A and B are shown apart, each in its own frame.
Chain A
Amino acid sequence: MKTSLLVLAAAAATLALPAHADTLKKIKDSGSITLGARESSGALAFTLGDGKYAGFHTEMAQHIADDLKKQLGLAKLDVKYQVVTSQNRIPLVQNGTVDLECGSTTNNAARQKDVAFAMTTYVEEVRVATKANSGITSINQLNGKTVATTTGTTSVQTLRKHERATGIDFKEVFGKDHADSFLLLESGRADAFVMDGQILAGNISKSKSPADYKIVGEVLSVEPIACMLRKDDPAFKKAVDDSIKAMVKSGELAKLYDKWFMQPIPPSNTKVGLPLSEATKQAWANPNDKPMEDYAKK
C-alpha cells in the first residue's frame, strides 16, 4: 500500500513538472551556455577556423551571454559553441544541445511551430546579383536565362514562387553552398545569382574583381532574421529580448553593425559595404518577433 502511494506520488510529481523548458535555470545550474555557430553565413556569422566564430550575430550573442551572466549573478559563465547547419539547427535547439542560435535563421510561421525567436535584429532582402556587363537590371529580364541559387535556402522557394506568379521561364541551377553558387555566376554557367543581399555583397567583395558584379533589381523577398531559442520559455526569451533592446538603446547594436558590415572584416579584410537598411532600422525601433509571412502582407 505504502509503495503504491509512493509510486503515485512520484508519478504526480513528474506530471506536475512544468511542461515548458527552463533555459535560465539550466544556464545557472551548469554555469555554461551553448551558442549555435554558423560556419559561413556571410557577415552575420562565420568561422575564422580553430573553433573561433565571428560576425554580427555571433558577437551580438556574446553580448547577450554577458548580460545573462549579470542577470543570473554568476561569477563565471562558460560560453560554448556548437556548429549548426541549416539542416540540424532546429532539432539541436529543440533537444537542448544548443541554447541560443544567432546566425542567419529566418523567422517564419512554419518554424514558429517548433521553436521561438527573439526580436528581429536583421532584415534580409533577397536580391539578384549579375555580371556588371550583362545588361540585366531586373528579374523580368531573366526570361530564358540561367539563375543560380544555393540548395537548402529559402531563396529557392522564393524564386519558384516568382517564376509561377509572373510566368517567367528561367533555368535554375543549384550550388551546394554560397561559394559554389557564386562560382557558377563567375564561370558563366549562370547569368544571375539570387540570394540574401548580404551574402551577395559579401561574395562580391571577396571575389577576384568586385567591380565586375553588381546587385540589381527589385527586392524579391523580405526575411526577418533573428536568434532562435526553445519554444515555451518566456523567461529566457524576455532575458534575451531585454538584452537586445538595451543594445539598441545604447547604440551598441548600431556599432556592431558598422563593425561587421561597413568596416573591413577578417579573414580577407574586405568590406561587405551594405549600409543599414530601412527595414532593419524599423525592426530595431519596433521590437517584434513577427514571422516572414507578416512582412509579405505589407
Chain B
Amino acid sequence: MSNWDWQVFCKDTATGDVLAGCMGSGQDISYLQWMLSAWGWTLSVALLALLVALVVGSVMGVLRTTPVKGLVFLGNAWTELFRNIPLLVQIFLWYHVLPALVPPLKGLPSFVLVVLALGLFTSARVAEQVKAGIQALPKGQRYAGLAMGLTLPQTYRYVLLPMAFRIVIPPLTSESMNIIKNSSVAFAVSIAELTMFAMQAQEETSRGIEIYLAVSVLYFVSAFTINRIAHFIEQRVQVPGMIGGGK
C-alpha cells in the first residue's frame, strides 16, 4: 500500500502532468474529470435502460397472466428470447447485426442501441418477476374483481397490480442494482463508461489498483443508492393488512 499513488487522478489525460486543483479547463482534462464523466455515462445508460426494462417488463409480465392465449404466448416468447441469449451477445446483435439487416438503425447512436439492448434484456427478467407477483395472489382476487363488474384491464389496474407490485419490490430492487453493474458491457460498443475508463486509464497510467479501486467504489455507491431508494419506496407504499405491510 505504501507505493499507492492517488495523485494519478489529478494528472492531465494527454500530457501526464499533475494539474493544479485536480481539474483542468478547456481541452485539458484530468483523469478525475474523465472518471466523473464516465460515471455519468454509466448512470445514464443504466437509468434509461431501467426505465425501458420496467415499462416493457411490466407489460410483458401482465400479458403472461391474461386469459388470452395469444397474449400469453407473446409474453412468454418475449421473455424466453431475451433471457436465453447472453447479454454481451445481445449487445453485439444490436450494434453489428441489426443495423446490417435494418439500414435505418445505422443512424442511431450506439448509446440508444445499448439502452435498448440492456433494457430489453432486463425486461425479460422484470416480466418474470411481475408474473410471479401476480400469480402469488389468490385466484379469488381476480374472480372477485370480475364479479364486481370490472373489466379485465380494470381488475388489473385496481385489484391485482397494486398488490402484485408491492410483492415484487424486493426482487425488482435486485434487478435495478444488477442493471447498474450490467451497464459495464456498454464498453464493448464504445460507450465511454466506467469500465472502459478503467481499462483505458490503467493502461495509460500503469496505476491499475488505484483506478480499479476508485471505479469499484463508484459502482458500489451507485448500486447502493438504488437499493436505499427502493427501500424507501417499499416503506412508503406499505399498506397495513397487505402482504409485507403493517409490520
B205-219, CB < 8 A from A:
205-206, 208
Q: Are A151 and B96 in contact (CB under 8 A)?
A: no
Q: Are A151 and B200 in contact (CB under 8 A)?
A: yes
B contacts with A, residue count (CB < 8 A) = 22
Interface size class of A (residues with CB under 8 A): 20 to 34
Best-buried of B13, B16, B96, B203 by chain A (most CB within 10 Å): B203
Q: Are A154 and B208 in contact (CB under 8 A)?
A: no
State whether the Cβ of B202 lies closer than 8 Å to any Cβ in chain A.
yes
State whether the Cβ of B17 lies closer than 8 Å to any Cβ in chain A.
no
B1-54, CB < 8 A from A:
13-16, 27
State whether the Cβ of B199 lies closer than 8 Å to any Cβ in chain A.
yes
State whether the Cβ of B190 lies closer than 8 Å to any Cβ in chain A.
yes
Q: Are B96 and A154 in contact (CB under 8 A)?
A: no
- Decide yes or no: A173 and B190 within 8 Å by CB, A87-B208, A157-B13 being known contacts: yes
Determine the distance from Cα of A164 to Cα of B13 in the docked complex, in whole angstroms: 11
> Which residues of A have CB within 8 Å of B206?
90, 110-111, 113-114
Say which residue of A86, A157, A173, A187 sits within 8 Å of B96 (CB atoms). A187
> Which residues of B have CB within 8 Å of A161?
14-15
Q: Are B205 and A110 in contact (CB under 8 A)?
A: yes
- Binary A-proximity of B167-202 (CB < 8 A = 1, otherwise 0): 000000000000000000001101010001001101
Determine the distance from Cα of A31 to Cα of B247 in the docked complex, in whole angstroms: 67
State whether the Cβ of A91 lies closer than 8 Å to any Cβ in chain B.
yes
State whether the Cβ of B100 lies closer than 8 Å to any Cβ in chain A.
yes
Determine the distance from Cα of A160 to Cα of B208 in the docked complex, in whole angstroms: 20
Quote the shortest CB–CB distance from B218 to chain A (angstroms): 18
> Which residues of B have CB within 8 Å of A180?
188
A118-175, CB < 8 A from B:
151-154, 156-157, 160-161, 164, 172-175
> Which residues of A have CB within 8 Å of B80?
none
Q: Are B208 and A151 in contact (CB under 8 A)?
A: no
- Binary A-proximity of B93-113 (CB < 8 A = 1, otherwise 0): 000100110000000001000
> Which residues of B have CB within 8 Å of A154?
203-204
Q: Are B13 and A160 in contact (CB under 8 A)?
A: yes
Q: Are A151 and B199 in contact (CB under 8 A)?
A: yes
Quote the shortest CB–CB distance from B96 to chain A (angstroms): 7
Say which residue of A153, A172, A173, A184 sits within 8 Å of B203 (CB atoms). A153
Determine the distance from Cα of A144 to Cα of B205 in the docked complex, in whole angstroms: 28
Q: Are B14 and A164 in contact (CB under 8 A)?
A: yes
Quote the shortest CB–CB distance from A54 to chain B (angstroms): 24
State whether the Cβ of A283 lies closer than 8 Å to any Cβ in chain B.
no
Closest to B13 in A: A160
Best-buried of B13, B15, B190, B206 by chain A (most CB within 10 Å): B190
Determine the distance from Cα of A156 to Cα of B208 in the docked complex, in whole angstroms: 17
Determine the distance from Cα of A110 to Cα of B201 in the docked complex, in whole angstroms: 13
Quote the shortest CB–CB distance from A249 to chain B (angstroms): 33
Determine the distance from Cα of A223 to Cα of B214 in the docked complex, in whole angstroms: 29
Closest to A90 in B: B206
- Binary B-proximity of A240-263 (CB < 8 A = 1, otherwise 0): 000000000000000000000000
Determine the distance from Cα of A87 to Cα of B207 in the docked complex, in whole angstroms: 10
State whether the Cβ of A238 lies closer than 8 Å to any Cβ in chain B.
no
Determine the distance from Cα of A164 to Cα of B204 in the docked complex, in whole angstroms: 17
> Which residues of B have CB within 8 Å of A184?
190
29 cross-chain CB contacts under 8 A: A86-B199, A87-B199, A87-B208, A90-B206, A91-B208, A110-B205, A113-B206, A114-B206, A151-B187, A151-B200, A152-B199, A154-B204, A156-B204, A157-B204, A160-B13, A161-B14, A161-B15, A164-B27, A174-B190, A174-B192, A174-B196, A175-B190, A176-B188, A180-B188, A183-B96, A184-B190, A187-B96, A187-B99, A187-B100
What 3 A-B pairs are tightest by C-beta distance, nearest first?
A: A173-B190, A152-B199, A174-B190
Chain B interface (Cβ within 8 Å of chain A)?
Answer: 13-16, 27, 96, 99-100, 110, 187-188, 190, 192, 196, 199-200, 202-206, 208
12 additional A-B pairs beyond A113-B206, A151-B200, A153-B203, beta carbons within 8 Å, are A110-B205, A111-B206, A114-B206, A151-B187, A152-B202, A156-B200, A160-B14, A161-B14, A172-B190, A173-B110, A174-B196, A184-B190
